């Protein structure tokens, strides 16, 4: 399925969490991804996950089941399933992981961000091979511009990870690990089309060179026509045209280390709002658009010094240019990120020690709003120590010190514990973190910078997170239960200043909210496996509330359903294909500034997926949202009058694309044929 049809205005609600394989989400269909942190045998169907996987996101280089920091792994097999649902972006891939959901941030452009356990999407750090190739913040559109074609796995840390990665990771980390070329030439091409006039073409090729060198190249083109499904004149599905290319060069060293050089380029034109000849309720046309150009480069080097000691270097640069259109008004911004890091890692006889220095510089430059421009530099030093106290008990402690050029100095600690008594696996973690607020929060990204006052008097946001999970296998059954709690203080929020703009809307200011935002909840999963069959049932409870900065009263965080549940049944044979069915329940959600209702309707979303493979060819089809749940069937997306924050649309709390069928062909070459 194309990214437009599944994500754009659909708040993705994750409904499950796994113990040996994790969860499922609101929209797409697939067996849940592997949650290797709680079990050494993740994966699904009859394929067991490789228990020698070492995670890089925690820096300790331990096997995933031995790491005290809870890490969820989405492996290559799961990635291939999501590729046939959404070849153009990773949103479906991430939405299928417990404790995450992809939150629609614009019903006009279909932009979306990743929320971790109910926290704001801006607190999630997105990395590629440990590098911030998408900036300190990927932004709400970056998620929709990353194809999954060349991913080997995804590593996810939930809860504050500032002790590992600084202020950008206050809510969690998602690390995208690229595919490494095999010993033989390989490649694949995928063609996809949808019933809502979307299309994707992606290609991947990789091959060895000589003397330990190899390369890979990934590219794609993605198209979507604007679609007005309810005849209102407003595009329920915005249009886009996007092209991406990413070459990589690899070097394997005889000593066991290696190097990676990566380059990436993305160009996209995206347009929503009113269709030609149509108007919003005030009688004028209102086209909303976003043009993006992004260029990035990154370098990784791991160099063993001795059997127990390794030196590492990471460096990257990213430049993104945006041109926004808000009706008759346009805005431009240029974002730059520079990053460098050097580490030393020592491991011996149950001890693991990692220390390093890092520096990151982030810059925003606009044409018309110099008072909002910024240039931050953040050097930092970090250390992490892991110790196997017994065969079944491991502890981990980390501490990072950062000096932010605008917000001051910060210490970010983290402590984690792993205990494996018999067949049980228990983890506990406590951490603190910080976040440096910027201008792109709330309605600003959708309505523009022109209505925002300069950022003055702000302090950094801070968070404290706690989590506990327990899992166990019972023959063909596996179960997992997780509890979490996060407290955020000094959260940056938008408030009206009391002044108005020429269009009658409020001028806005970003302030630190009084009190605290508290998010707590739990996740549960039960899975049964037999031969080629997997059945998964899941439930998630999330409650988040904060003090309203205007009234001072505590209110429930909007777009956070307290209750969600889901079921996935899958038959899969690696050589023949797969067939699956899903059904998800999303409970009611509190809505903010919606003229039609204060609370959303609960709904059930169902889907069916099938893939048939013969040799190098596979044919696939995916029926999404077969009950045709669509928000505009209940209420309009467009407000009866321009909102006080400058937006014409309400928040998306349900799918906006309705029923969608997508299908296509995937062709493998070389080693991929087998």
Residue 397: pLDDT band with limits 50, 70, 90: very high
Average pLDDT of span 569-578: 89
Is residue 298 a part of any domain in this protein? yes
CATH code, domain carrying 338:
2.40.170.20
Pairing of strands 477-489, 492-500: unpaired
Is residue 331 a part of any domain in this protein? yes
Share of the chain above pLDDT 90, in %: 62
Is residue 303 a part of any domain in this protein? yes
Per-residue pLDDT at 657 exceeds 80: yes
Residue 23: pLDDT band with limits 50, 70, 90: very low
pLDDT value of residue 48: 37
pLDDT 10s digits, 333-371: 999 999 999 999 999 998 999 999 999 999 999 988 999
Phi-psi region of 273 (alpha: psi -120 to 50; beta: other; left: phi over 0): left
The rounded distance, in Å, linking the Cα atoms of 102 and 112 is 6
Spacing of C-alpha 594 from chain mean position: 26
State which residues form the domain around 415.
3-281+292-673
Q: What is the pTM of this model?
A: 0.88
pLDDT value of residue 60: 74
Residue 215: pLDDT band with limits 50, 70, 90: very high
Pairing of strands 329-348, 309-326: antiparallel
pLDDT 10s digits, 252-300: 988 888 999 999 999 999 999 999 999 999 999 999 999 999 999 999 9
Phi-psi region of 368 (alpha: psi -120 to 50; beta: other; left: phi over 0): alpha
pLDDT value of residue 246: 97
pLDDT value of residue 8: 33
Is residue 132 a part of any domain in this protein? yes
For residues 480 and 97, the answer to whether their CB atoms sit within 8 Å is no
Share of the chain above pLDDT 70, in %: 90
Average pLDDT of span 517-544: 92
Average pLDDT of span 33-55: 42
Q: Which positions ≥6 away from 148 have C-beta within 8 Å? A: 79, 82, 83, 86, 87, 89, 90, 93
Per-residue pLDDT at 54 exceeds 70: yes
Is residue 571 a part of any domain in this protein? yes
Average pLDDT of span 618-646: 94
Per-residue pLDDT at 475 exceeds 60: yes
Q: Is 575 exposed, middle or buried (0-12, 13-18, 19+ CB in 10 A)?
A: exposed
pLDDT value of residue 2: 35
Per-residue pLDDT at 95 exceeds 70: yes
pLDDT value of residue 189: 96
Is residue 84 a part of any domain in this protein? yes
pLDDT value of residue 46: 33
Matching residue, tokens 């240039």 = 375
Q: Which positions ≥6 away from 470 have C-beta within 8 Å? A: 424, 425, 426, 427, 480, 481
Average pLDDT of span 96-125: 80
Average pLDDT of span 239-244: 96
For residues 350 and 344, the answer to whether their CB atoms sit within 8 Å is no
Residue 39: pLDDT band with limits 50, 70, 90: very low
Provide the terminal-to-terminal Cα distance of the chain, rounded to the nearest Å. 25
The 3-class secondary structure across 509-573, one letter per residue, is EEEECCCEEEEEEEEEEEEEEECCEEEEEEEEEEEEEEECCCCCCEEECCCCCCEEEEEEEEEEE
pLDDT value of residue 139: 60
pLDDT 10s digits, 156-178: 988 888 998 998 899 899 999 99
pLDDT 10s digits, 297-340: 999 999 999 989 999 999 999 999 999 999 999 999 999 999 99
Domain count, the chain: 1
Beta bridge partners of 202: 190, 220
Per-residue pLDDT at 103 exceeds 80: no
Stretch among 21-25, 212-216, 596-600, 637-641 having the lowest mean pLDDT: 21-25
For residues 300 and 311, the answer to whether their CB atoms sit within 8 Å is no
The rounded distance, in Å, linking the Cα atoms of 334 and 362 is 11
pLDDT 10s digits, 419-472: 999 899 999 999 999 999 999 887 888 888 998 999 999 999 999 999 999 999
Is residue 286 a part of any domain in this protein? no
pLDDT value of residue 673: 59
Per-residue pLDDT at 49 exceeds 90: no
Residue 138: pLDDT band with limits 50, 70, 90: low
Average pLDDT of span 233-262: 94
The rounded distance, in Å, linking the Cα atoms of 367 and 403 is 29
């Amino acid at each position: 399925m194309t990214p437009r049809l599944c994500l754009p205005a659909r708040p993705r609600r994750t409904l499950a969490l796994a113990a040996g394989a994790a969860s499922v989400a609101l929209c797409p269909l697939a067996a849940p991804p592997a949650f290797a942190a709680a079990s050494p045998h993740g994966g699904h169907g009859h394929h067991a996950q490789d228990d020698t996987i070492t995670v890089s996101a925690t820096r300790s280089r331990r096997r995933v089941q031995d790491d005290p920091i809870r890490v969820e792994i989405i492996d290559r097999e799961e990635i291939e399933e999501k590729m046939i649902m959404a070849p153009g972006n990773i949103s479906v891939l991430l939405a299928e992981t417990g404790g995450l959901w992809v939150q629609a941030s614009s019903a006009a452009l279909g932009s979306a961000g990743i929320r971790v356990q109910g926290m704001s999407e801006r607190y999630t750090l997105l990395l590629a091979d440990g590098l911030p190739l998408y900036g300190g913040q990927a932004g709400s559109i970056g998620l929709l511009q990353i194809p999954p074609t060349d991913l080997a796995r995804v590593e996810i840390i939930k809860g504050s990870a500032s002790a590992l990665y600084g202020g950008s990771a206050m809510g969690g980390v998602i690390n995208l690990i690229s595919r490494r070329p095999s010993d033989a030439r390989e490649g694949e091409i995928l063609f996809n089309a949808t019933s809502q006039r979307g299309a994707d073409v992606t290609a991947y090729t990789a091959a060895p060179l000589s003397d330990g060198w190899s390369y890979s190249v990934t590219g794609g083109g993605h198209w979507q026509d604007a679609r007005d499904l309810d005849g209102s004149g407003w595009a329920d599905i915005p249009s886009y045209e996007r092209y991406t290319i990413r070459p990589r060069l690899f070097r394997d060293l005889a000593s066991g280390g290696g190097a990676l050089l990566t380059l990436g380029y993305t160009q996209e034109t995206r347009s929503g709002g009113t269709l030609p000849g149509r108007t919003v309720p005030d009688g004028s046309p209102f086209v909303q658009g976003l043009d993006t150009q992004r260029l990035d480069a990154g370098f990784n080097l791991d160099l063993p010094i001795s059997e127990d000691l390794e030196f590492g270097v990471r460096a990257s640069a990213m430049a993104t240019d945006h041109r926004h259109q808000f009706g008759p008004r346009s805005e431009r911004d240029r974002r730059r990120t520079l990053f460098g890091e050097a580490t030393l890692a020592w491991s011996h006889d149950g001890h693991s020690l990692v220390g390093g220095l890092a520096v990151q510089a982030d810059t925003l430059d606009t044409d018309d709003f110099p008072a909002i421009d910024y240039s931050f530099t953040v050097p930092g030093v970090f250390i992490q120590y892991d110790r196997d106290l017994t065969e079944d008990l491991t502890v981990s402690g980390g501490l990072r010190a950062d000096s932010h050029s605008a917000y001051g100095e910060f210490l970010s600690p983290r402590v984690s514990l792993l205990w494996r008594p018999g067949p049980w696996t228990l983890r506990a973690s406590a951490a603190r973190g910080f976040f440096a607020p910027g201008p792109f929060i709330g309605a600003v990204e959708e309505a523009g910078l022109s209505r925002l006052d300069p950022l003055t008097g702000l302090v950094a946001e801070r968070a404290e997170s706690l989590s506990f999970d327990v899992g166990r296998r019972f023959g063909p059954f596996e179960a997992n239960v997780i509890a979490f709690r996060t407290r955020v203080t000094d959260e940056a929020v938008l408030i009206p200043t009391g002044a108005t703009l020429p269009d009658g809307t409020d001028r806005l200011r970003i302030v630190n909210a009084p009190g605290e935002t508290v998010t707590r909840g739990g996740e549960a999963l039960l899975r049964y496996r037999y031969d080629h069959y997997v059945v998964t049932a899941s439930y998630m409870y999330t409650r988040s509330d904060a003090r309203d900065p205007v009234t001072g009263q505590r209110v429930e965080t909007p777009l956070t359903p307290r209750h969600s549940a889901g079921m996935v049944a899958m038959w899969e044979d690696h050589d023949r294909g797969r067939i699956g069915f899903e059904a998800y329940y999303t409970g009611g959600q509190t809505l903010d500034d919606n003229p039609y209702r204060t609370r959303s309707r609960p709904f059930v979303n169902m889907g069916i997926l099938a893939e048939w493979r013969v040799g190098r060819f596979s044919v696939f089809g995916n029926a999404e949202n077969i009950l045709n749940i669509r928000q505009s069937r209940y209420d309009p997306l467009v407000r009866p009058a321009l909102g006080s924050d400058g937006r014409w649309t309400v928040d998306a709390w349900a799918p906006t694309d309705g029923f969608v069928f997508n299908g296509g062909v995937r062709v493998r070459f070389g080693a991929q044929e087998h």
